[in-house]
Copies of this chain bind each other. A is one copy, B any other.
Amino acid sequence: MTTYTAPVEDMMFLFDKLRNNKNYNEIEKYHDVNSELVRNILEEAAKITQNIILPLAKSGDENPTTLENGVVITPPGYKEAYKKFIEDGWTSLSCDPKYGGQGMPKTVSAFFDEMLSSASLSFKLYSELSIGAYNCINHHTTESIKNKFLPKMVEGKWSGTMCLTESVCGTDLGLLKTKAVEQPNGTFKISGQKIFITSGDHDLTENIIHLVIARASDSPSGTKGISLFLVPKFVVNDDGSIGQQNGISTVSIESKMGIKGSATCVLNFDAAIGYMVGPKNKGLNSMFTMMNLERIVVGIQGLGISEIAYQNSLNYAKERKQGKTNNSKTDNNADFIIEHADIRKSLLNMKSIIEGERALCFWLSQQTEVSLYHKDKIIRQEASNIVSLMTPVVKALFTDMGMEITSDAMQIHGGYGYTKDQGIEQLYRDNRITPIYEGTNSVQAIDLVFRKLENKNGDIINKYISLIQKDLNIMEAEMQPFISILIKNIKILLNFTNWIKDKMKNSKEDVSAACNDYLKVLGLVAIAHAWIKVLEVSFKDYKNNKQFYEEKIQTANFFFNRVLPRVESHYLSAISGSKYIMDFKFN
């Protein structure tokens, strides 16, 4: 079985040393969220993830969720752990105190998201979508609906889902067939079938609040006729008590490669009572509020699984002896594999990506908070632009990197990594959903390039690159080797961006065939930017924590020298165009 120690020190380093962002500091409601409070929260979070949730990973994989007589049964131990989880208030961490939440910013809750993902992604998913549903309801419904539903969701006694996909529509929601028929009392009757619904049914909560996209009877076809509805599993009475069962049934659950503890349901809605959320025919807009935040969390899932994969690889490399190194100091005995250059390289590759991602994510969490709560509308919008730009990048890059890292972890474990005993192959299987769900990584890349670089809010990518360039105005001599490498890569990013903008005019296929490479290039540059901020502190504060900062500097060195060169290939490959791709006749 895998072991896990929450990386509280690295998280506290980010919180203590990299929080000094003017706009973020101006959000008044977070003035009390200080270092001591956050350390307390993270230490408690470490305890519950390490002790209670980690063991659920294996349990869920060995005893997948089942469907018995129409009822979904979660794996052994899930119920007890979930009870403790909500008793300790973990579902309420980032929610509004108005509804019983603790009001913690994303700079804190993102760390908890990471820990949960490391410990058990399957278990995490039961509460993760609830937060998404909470955000959506909180942003788009009336006070009376909020008061009726949110306190129980914050408390974790009710959970939430996002019901988008149907058998004919995943990426392309315009094709959806689920119908909503308005009733004289203003409610709707929802009918249709939704598939791939995460936590669509389960036995952990008293009620499940589905957010369902459907087409009202008089709405146009395509994406312009989609509305969003709140459809509870059990109808909720006016006094807040639970009433009759709604017209929703679980047809089947998916048998999957991984996250077997998570229930992925086919749900039938048969004239189920629903309430419209947000304006009619604007359902996708409302849903995307939820989806965008959720996509960043999926990126964090990739980060969390990468972290536990790294930790277990490191431990194994220190215990396993095999072969002699070039400079072996032992006689007949083999050396620990951590002495081998190639294993060290593999471990540092993981570490440099993980810590860079965590720093980037922390920076993005600050931007997210600014985009939501800063008092200045222009500053909010600017932050929002950056968050929109980076959302697909974080989702796709972190989850792809998660595959690379869990795969490398298996290689380090050799044959043992392929067997069930070590738990490594499970990390690989569990993480494999993350590049697919919440929009495949190719969809993220298309979203980035076609909708996020330039849009009605301006030339976002240009502003973002300028922002990075401004941060490189550092004089310290130790920083120069890193800065010069990054400048070289920014130049490639700029060339690539200009190439995209040019091709956008009349060779859109060239752009489509370049999206994935572009996302990778932007993501690698963004991680390097995050590393620059970490490095600045590391050199300045060096004396106060020599060992910690020395590690940071060497790890960054790895990233700049060994990971960043990938930028070059992506660029070269993409600008070769697409004629020979589009002309090809697939017989």
Contact = CB atoms under 8 A, between A and B. Distances in A.
A508 interface: yes
Interface residues of A, number: 97
Nearest to A563: B573
A324 B446 CA distance: 12
A561 B586 contact: no
Interface stretch (A69-77, A186-194, A511-519): A511-519
B407 A436 contact: no
B585 A419 contact: no
B257 A418 contact: yes
Interface string A12-27: 0000000000000000
Interface string A569-582: 10011001110111
Given A513-B345, A568-B569, A170 B322 contact: yes
A493 to B, nearest CB: 15
A587 B347 CA distance: 12
A541 to B, nearest CB: 19
B411 A435 contact: yes
B436 A417 contact: yes
A509 B340 CA distance: 9
A429 B221 CA distance: 40
Given A558-B580, A561-B580, 9 more contacts: A170-B322, A172-B323, A172-B334, A174-B334, A175-B334, A255-B420, A342-B442, A568-B568, A569-B569
7 contacts: A195-B415, A256-B420, A340-B512, A342-B442, A344-B581, A345-B578, A551-B587
Interface of A: 165, 168-172, 174-175, 195-196, 221-222, 254-258, 314, 317-318, 321-327, 332, 334, 338, 340-348, 403, 407, 410-411, 414-415, 417-421, 425, 428-429, 432-433, 435-437, 440-442, 445-446, 508-509, 512-513, 515-516, 547, 550-551, 554-555, 557-558, 561-563, 565-569, 572-573, 576-578, 580-587
